[in-house]
């Protein structure tokens, strides 16, 4: 397998002889999902050489279904980023234009699928990391409802937001892979007993009410991208749906709430990495431990990861905790309530996945705030814990555009069926 897109960090394959619904299908796995006997680094130097002694539940389920694990995919270090340029091993390239970013943080998974190296892949989505690269590479990606897929074996970045989910070239494969990984797992406390039945997948849009949150077409959304998405929504209306405008008044707090909370969670989740057992740089023992620890972590983590650990530690510290963390949690509840209210008026919400098409490599890395702003339309679904899918719906500026459908909590069925109806109408 020739990897022209820097999509893979490891191409070690593991075969399964089970005869399930993925028998013989090669599935790539993001490098923050634990794979027994295959190095799992989160694209970080600090985990170099770490070979997990166990499989994540999602990976065990893939094997049970007969899939071949096709290797580990490139990502932003620990999932922090939107372009895969924060990987310690170089960026994943967008198969639609290799001078552009594949998106992130599951950029390797998306590039592997869009580049034809594998038919499907697992990614993880904390604030958009499945939907962003799916949108920018022109494929399908689903972020499941919080709790519907086990996070056991997913190396935590901001665990109150993240879910493992499928990326594929089409809705049917995406639903099939989702059916394999969804379901209860007693080793993950928020896990719910809601398996997904692949047989329930059918093109179904007639009579559905689609809410169009006006904030999803607001400031910062590229006009050409917005026009392509509006056309896709018109297509859904042609197929028998009706639309109504809704509003998420608290949208303006979404990015701030997400970035404060996720950096706080990251600062505590990542404090376990000390380079003692794994990692490119081992601590020196001839100095006080805190000096050795600082040296290892300064060299082992990339710039963005260090920035977030510092921001999170600051926001959690005495005197600032109430001002930042508590406020961000409060905003989170308000945003979740706004989504719940909007979803009472309709069956699902629709809008663009990303405000822009895939940027040129290097375009977003100069200013971290610009990178964070790219997540404005994806983080709300993580904040609210609701399912969201990105499906290709045309091009703007010569690059793919994703249509995002967001459903009620645990109702992946409705958005998958609507996505299939749209896809079939394109064929
Ligand atoms: N870009 C967002 C972040 O950097 C989302 C990443 C993700 O979903 N893992 O936090």
Nearest protein Cα to ligand 1, atom 10: 80
CA 366 to chain CA mean position, Å:
22
Grade residue 284 by pLDDT with cuts at 50, 70 and 90.
Answer: confident
Range of weakest confidence among 1-5, 112-116, 151-155, 251-255:
1-5
CA 216, CA 66: separation in Å to the nearest integer?
40
Does 1 have pLDDT greater than 80? no
Task: Indicate whether residue 79 lines ligand 1 (CB < 6 A).
Answer: yes
pLDDT of 427 above 80: no
User: What does the pLDDT average to over 117-137?
Assistant: 98
C-alpha 45/C-alpha 333 separation (Å) is 36
Mean pLDDT of the chain: 97
d(C-alpha 368, C-alpha 252), whole Å: 18
Return d(Cα 171, Cα 58) in angstroms, integer.
Answer: 19
Percentage of residues of the chain with pLDDT beyond 70: 100
Q: Would the CB of 138 count as within 6 Å of ligand 1?
A: no
Per-residue pLDDT reduced to its tens digit, 18-50: 999 999 999 999 999 999 999 999 999 999 999
According to the 3-state scheme, what is the secondary structure of 23-52?
CCCEEEEECCECECCECCCCCCHHHCCCCC
Determine the residue of 31, 79, 161 to mutate for testing ligand 1's pocket, defined as the one with the most ligand atoms within 8 A of the Cβ atom: 79
Q: Which two tokens stand for residue 274?
A: 């000390």
Phi, psi of 142 (to 5 degrees): -120, 125
* Cβ of 375 below 6 Å from ligand 1: yes
pLDDT of 253 strictly over 80:
yes
Q: At 91, phi and psi to the nearest 5?
A: -75, 155
Q: Which atom of ligand 1 is least distant from the CA of 157? A: 9
Residue 193: Cβ-neighbour burial (10 angstroms; 0-12, 13-18, 19+): exposed
Question: Best substitution site from 76, 103, 264, 359 to test ligand 1's pocket, by max atoms within 8 Å of Cβ?
Answer: 76
Which residues, in sequence order, are bridge partners of residue 166? 122
For residue 374, the ligand 1 atom closest to its alpha carbon is 1
User: Ligand 1 centre from 41 Cα, in Å?
Assistant: 17
Kindly report the backbone phi and psi dihedral angles of residue 424, in degrees, each rounded to the nearest multiple of 5, phi listed first. -65, -35
The model's confidence at residue 204, banded by pLDDT at 50, 70 and 90, is very high
CA distance 88 to 82: 14
- Coarse DSSP helix, strand, coil percentages of the chain, rounded to the nearest 5 percent: 40, 20, 45
Site to probe by mutation for ligand 1, drawn from 81, 86, 133, 404 as the one with most ligand atoms within 8 Å of Cβ, is 81
Any atom of ligand 1 within 6 Å of the Cβ of 129: yes
pLDDT at residue 371 is higher than 80: yes
Beta partners for residue 349, in sequence order = 211, 406
* Structural tokens at position 361: 């490599």
pLDDT digits (tens, 9 = 90+) for 94-125: 999 999 999 999 999 999 999 999 999 999 99
């Amino acid at each position: 397998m020739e990897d022209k897109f820097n999509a893979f960090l490891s191409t070690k394959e593991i075969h399964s002889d089970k005869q399930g619904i993925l028998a013989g299908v090669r599935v790539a796995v993001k490098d923050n999902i634990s794979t027994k006997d295959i190095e799992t680094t989160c694209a970080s130097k600090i985990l170099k050489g770490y070979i997990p002694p166990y499989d994540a539940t999602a990976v065990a389920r893939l094997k049970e279904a007969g899939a071949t694990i096709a290797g580990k995919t490139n990502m932003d270090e620990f999932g922090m980023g939107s372009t895969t340029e924060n990987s310690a091993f170089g960026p994943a390239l967008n198969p639609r234009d290799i001078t552009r970013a594949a998106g992130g943080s599951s950029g390797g998974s998306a590039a592997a699928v869009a580049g034809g190296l594998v038919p499907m892949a697992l990614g993880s989505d904390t604030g958009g990391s499945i939907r962003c690269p799916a949108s920018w590479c022109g494929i399908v990606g689903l972020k499941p409802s919080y709790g519907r897929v086990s996070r056991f074996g997913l190396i935590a970045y901001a665990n109150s937001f993240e879910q493992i989910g499928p990326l594929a070239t089409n809705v049917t494969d995406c639903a099939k892979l989702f059916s394999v990984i969804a379901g209860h797992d007693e080793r993950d406390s928020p896990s719910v007993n809601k398996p997904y039945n692949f047989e329930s997948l059918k093109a179904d849009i007639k009579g559905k009410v689609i809410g169009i949150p006006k904030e999803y077409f607001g400031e910062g959304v590229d006009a050409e991208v917005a026009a392509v998405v509006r056309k896709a929504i018109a297509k859904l209306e042609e197929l028998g749906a009706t639309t109504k405008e809704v509003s998420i008044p608290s949208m303006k707090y979404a990015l701030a709430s997400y970035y404060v909370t996720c950096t706080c969670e990251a600062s505590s989740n990542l404090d376990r990495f000390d380079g003692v057992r794994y990692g490119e740089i081992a601590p020196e023992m001839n100095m006080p431990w805190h000096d050795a620890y600082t040296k290892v972590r300064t060299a082992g983590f990339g710039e963005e990861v260090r920035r977030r650990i510092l921001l999170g530690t600051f926001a959690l510290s005495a005197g600032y905790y109430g001002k930042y963390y508590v406020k961000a949690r409060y905003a989170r509840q308000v945003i979740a309530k706004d989504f719940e209210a909007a979803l009472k008026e309709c069956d699902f919400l629709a809008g663009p996945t990303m405000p822009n098409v895939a940027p040129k490599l290097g375009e977003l890395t100069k200013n971290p705030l610009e990178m964070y702003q790219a997540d404005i339309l994806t983080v709300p679904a993580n904040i609210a814990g609701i399912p969201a899918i990105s499906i290709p719906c045309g091009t703007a500026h010569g690059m793919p555009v994703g249509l995002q459908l967001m459903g009620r909590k645990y109702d992946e069925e409705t958005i998958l069926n609507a996505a299939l109806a749209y896809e079939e109408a394109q064929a």
